[in-house]
Amino acid sequence: MRPDQEAQARQMRARAVVRKTFGTLWTYAVLLAIFVFAVFPFFWTLAISITDKTVASGISIYSFPASLLPRHLTLSNFVEVFNTFKLGKYLWNSVAIAGLTVVGTLLVSALAAYPLARLNFPLKNLIFGAILATLVLPQETSFIVNVLTLRDLHILGTYWGVVVPIISTAFGIFVMRQAYLAIPATLLEAARIDGASEMQILSRIMIPLSLPSLTALGIFTLVGIWNTYFWPSLALITNQDLYPLSVAVLTLKGQFNYDPFNVAAGAMVMMLPILLVFLLAQRFFMRGLEGAVKG
Partner 1 sequence: MTRAATTFIAYGMLFPALILMGVFTFYPVIYGAYLGFSHYTAADFGAHNAPRWVGLENFHTVFADPLFQTGLLNSLKYLAVVPVLQLVSLAVAVLVNQKLPFIAFFRASYYIPVITSISLAAVMWDWIYAKDGLINWSLEALHLLQKSSAFGYLLNTDTAIWAIMFVTFWKGFGYYMVLYLAGLQGIPAELEEAATLDGASRSQIFWRITVPLMRPTILLCSLISTLAAIRVLEEIIVFTNGGPLNSTYTGLMYVYSKAFGLDFNYGVASAAGLVIALVGFVLSYLNFRLTRESGGEGA
Partner 2 sequence: MFKKLLAVTLMALSLGALAQQKPVQIEFWTWYLSPKFDPFIDGVIKDFQAKYPNITVKHVDKQDTIERDFQAQIALGQAPDVVNFWQDSTFAAAQAGLLRPVTDFTPVAQLKQLYWPNVLNIFTVNGQIYGYPWYGYVDQGVMMYNTELVAKAGLDVSKIKTLSELLNASKVVKQKTGAYGWLPSVKDPNGASFLGQFYLEGLPIYDKDGKAAFNTPAHAALLQKFVDLMKADVIPQDLLRKEAFQLTNELYSQGKVAFIVGGPQSLNRVKDANKDIYSKTKVVDAPLGAAKVQTGGAFDLVIPKASQHPSQAALFALFMSDKTNQAKFANVVPIVPTSIGSEIDPILQPKAKSTDPIDIATSRVAGAGRLINPGFKPPKNTQAVYKNFNDNIEAAFLGKKTAQQALDDAVTCWNANAK
Partner whose binding site includes residue 247, from partner 2, partner 1, none (CB under 5 to 8 Å by kind): partner 1
What Cα–Cα distance (Å) separates residue 218 from each residue in 97, 273, 279? 13, 15, 15
Interface residue with partner 1 among 47, 127, 205, 209 (CB under 8 A) is 127
* Rounded Cα–Cα distance for residues 113 and 115 (Å): 6
Interface residue with partner 1 among 102, 207, 242, 247 (CB under 8 A) is 247
Contact between 230 and partner 1 by CB under 8 A: the answer reads yes
User: What residues numbered 45-64 form the site for partner 2, per CB under 8 A?
Assistant: 53-54, 57-60
**x/- map, 4-43, partner 2, by CB under 8 A:** ----------------------------------------
Half-sphere exposure of 47 (CA within 13 A, CB side): 18
Phi, psi of 73 (to 5 degrees): -105, 155
Interface residue with partner 1 among 148, 190, 211, 280 (CB under 8 A) is 148
Contact between 106 and partner 1 by CB under 8 A: the answer reads no
Dihedral (CA of 89, 90, 95, 96) sign: positive
The distance of closest approach from Cβ of residue 151 to partner 2 in the complex, given in angstroms and rounded to an integer, is 5
Contact predicate 159/99, CB 8 Å: no
Contact between 147 and partner 2 by CB under 8 A: the answer reads yes
The region of 65-73, 179-187, 222-230, 248-256 touching partner 2 under the rule CB under 8 A is 248-256
Cβ nearer to partner 2, comparing 64 with 258: 258
The radius of gyration of the chain from alpha carbons, rounded to an integer in Å, stands at 27
Sequence-distant (≥ 6) Cβ neighbours of residue 58 within 8 angstroms: none
Interface residue with partner 1 among 61, 81, 214, 292 (CB under 8 A) is 61
Contact predicate 179/293, CB 8 Å: yes
Burial of 123 (0-12, 13-18, 19+ CB in 10 A): exposed
Cβ nearer to partner 2, comparing 239 with 282: 239
Q: Which residues of 223-254 are buried (b: 16+ CB within 10 A; e: fewer)?
A: bbbbebeebbbbbbeeeeebbbbbbbbeebee
Interface residue with partner 2 among 10, 15, 19, 86 (CB under 8 A) is 86
* Rounded Cα–Cα distance for residues 108 and 169 (Å): 9
Contact between 96 and partner 2 by CB under 8 A: the answer reads no
Interface residue with partner 1 among 82, 92, 160, 285 (CB under 8 A) is 285
Partner whose binding site includes residue 3, from partner 1, partner 2, none (CB under 5 to 8 Å by kind): none
User: What residues numbered 151-210 form the site for partner 1, per CB under 8 A?
Assistant: 164-168, 173, 192, 198-199, 202
Contact between 120 and partner 1 by CB under 8 A: the answer reads yes
* Rounded Cα–Cα distance for residues 234 and 282 (Å): 31
For residue 237, the SS3 value is coil
Q: Which DSSP state fits 287?
A: T
Q: Which residues bind partner 2 (CB under 8 A)?
A: 53-54, 57-60, 84-86, 147, 151, 156-157, 237-241, 251, 254-255, 257-259
